[in-house]
Structures are given as structure tokens and as C-alpha cells.
Amino acid sequence: MAPSHVLKCCQKVLAWVPVAFIALVVAWSYYAYVVELCVFTISSTAEKVVYLVVFHLSFVMFVWSYWKTIFTSPASPSNEFCLSKADKEQYEKEERPESQQEILRRAAKDLPIYTTTASRAIRYCDRCQLIKPDRCHHCSACDICVLKMDHHCPWVNNCVGFSNYKFFLLFLMYSLLYCLFVAATVLQYFIKFWTLCHRKAAESCPKNELPHTHAKFHVLFLFFVAAMFFISILSLFSYHCWLVGKNRSTIETFRAPTFRNGPDKNGFSLGCSKNLREVFGDEKKYWLLPIFTSLGDGCNFPTRLVIMDPEQLTVSSQSEPAKSSGGSQSFPTRPLSESQNRLLASDSQWVESGPEEENVKSGAKKHIIVSLES
């Protein structure tokens, strides 16, 4: 027991090594740029002031978003997704998967869940003992179920999911701008130093060359580090921008969520504009600030729901090939609430009528998902 506890403590400590490395690089870059470049190297006062103002602005936004990404706890499912004590005991006693699935279906009938496993089973986490909401996955590193989990990032020692995905995107964007600004403003002094290094006689150097040896060293490595990080972050940021436009997570890109009609990578896509609003919120003035403004609660996600008549449902089910495991799968009948589904408020696909609403409330109608390509 003791060795296992010590091992876990060591793993937790080692998990902070990448974060400590980034913190040291950022601290050194601050010293190299502010002290060695702006104070000791640049002679023009106006140039110093402009560089320092822009640098500190990008530095503050970069550190702020990085801090929020690291220390924002991953969001977990609410208690309504946990099994009751009676259902949990019954589930643990059952040995047959069919019986266990029947218990889970009964518990999930009133939950806003529209996705299943590839085998059409209710997504259940044995570790956390709860029914997984849509887009929720268990993180082995954090040992919890994370809402809208994207991935576990070692560079922030945290899970990137619903609660901090916006912060993660801003962290990538501001780190990209930070590296670009540093590399662009250091470039001219880097060239002067590089030219100076290839001269045999120091007497032939112009008077406006870099005056200090330490400054030359810092400027050289500052440019290389900024350029290297810029290139590496650019590809990652571009990839996540593409994911936001498609309303997908990294996990969903490699394993598409399974709906009633089968796997569909675009099952949650509402169009590029609405997908963007789902992550950054409705108020554009907060988009560039690392403040939580994402829409929804992380458990329910807008989908295009269509209310169908029982006759239409029967005809459509007869026209589709019968599936042994999918035919008996019951899907929840509760739609998203108005506040959670406001992204679809202007869509003509959201059909509502008086008589149909009454039938829905009485249980005579069924809501199913129609996955549309964005």
C-alpha cells in the first residue's frame, strides 16, 4: 500500500515537470527581452517604449490564459447522471451484460443522452459509477469523467474539456502572438549579431552593433526559441481552429460519436458560426478574454431534433435494415431546454406545433436526432 502511495506522489510531482519547463522558458524570455534587449541593446527611447508596451500586453494575456488553462478544474457530470443506490446495487449483482444494460436504460430514460457506444449500449463508467453524458469521457490521468473531454495535455498538467477549452484556445493564440512578436522584433538585432560573429576583426564593426556579450547570447537564443515555438504552436492552433469550426473534439475526430442513425463526426455541428458561439459565447466583447463564456452546462449539447409522428417513425424504422442490438435501444424523450438550445432558436428545422406539443408531453411522440452536415 505504501509503495503504491509513494508511486502516485512521484507521478503527481513529475506531471508538473513540463509546466515548470514552460514557466522557466517564459521567465527567461521575459528577462532576455526586457533587460538584455530593451534596456542594454536598443538605444532609441521611442523604440524601447513601443516594444515594451506591446510586449507586456501580449505577455499578460499569454500568462493569464495559460494560468486559467492549468488551474481551471475539469467539469464533471452532475449527480443526475449517477445511479441511485438501489440501481447501483442491482447493477453490481447482475452478471449478464444484457441485464446490466436494461438497468442503465431504465436509469437513462429521462436523461438528455443521444449517443451510445459503437455496440448501441449505454455509455457507463465503471470507475466513476455514472452514466456518461454526451461527449463525456473518463481521463485515466485525472481519474475522473470530464465533460466534453478533448484531451489530457501534459504541458498544462490538466484535462482540456468543457470548462477550460476556451482558455486553451486563447492560450495557443496568445502564445503564438507572443512568439511572433518576439521573433519579429529581435530579428534585426539577431542579424547584426550573426554578421558580427562572422567578422574576423572587431575594429571593422559599425558602432551600432550589439554592445554587450551577454545581450548577444540572449538575443541569439531568444530568436531561435521564439521561432521554434511559433512553428510548433502554429500547427496545433490551426488544428484546433478547424475542430471548433466542425464542433468536434480531438477524441471525436478519431472516434465518431454514435447516434441513432450510426456514427457521425458532424453530429453536433450546427454550422461554423454557431459552433464558434458554443465555445466563445454570445457576447463578442468577451471572446478574447480568458473568462468563461461558453454556452450550456457541458452535459447537454444542441442537436437538430425533429418531432415525428408514430406512423412516420414506423415507416422509417421498417425501411431501415434491422439491427440485433440497435432495435431494442431506447433513446431519451426529453429535449434540450430552451436556454440550452438557444443556438437552434432561429432554425427552421426545429418544428413545433400545438397538437404535437401536447402529444409529446403525453408520451405519444418520440424525439430522434437527425445529424446534418454543417
Element (H, E) at 312: helix 310-319
Q: Residue type at 259?
A: F
Residues β-bridged to residue 214: none
Q: At what angle do helices 213-246 and 17-31 cross, to 10 degrees?
A: 130
Q: What is the 3-state secondary structure (H, E, C) of 144-180?
A: EEECCCCEEECCCCEEECCCCHHHHHHHHHHHHHHHH
* SS3 call for 314: helix
Euclidean distance between the first and the last CA atom of the chain, given in angstroms as a whole number: 52
Tell me the three cell numbers of residue 121: 449500449
Q: Are strands 158-160 and 151-153 parallel, antiparallel or unpaired?
A: antiparallel
Q: How far apart are CA 314 and CA 46, in angstroms?
A: 76
Tell me the three cell numbers of residue 316: 422509417
CA distances from 344 to 11, 327, 334 (A): 44, 29, 16
Identify whether the C-beta of residue 38 lies closer than 8 Å to the C-beta of residue 51: yes
What DSSP state is assigned to residue 33?
I
Q: At what angle do helices 97-108 and 85-93 cross, to 10 degrees?
A: 160
Q: List, by residue number, the catalytic residues.
A: 153
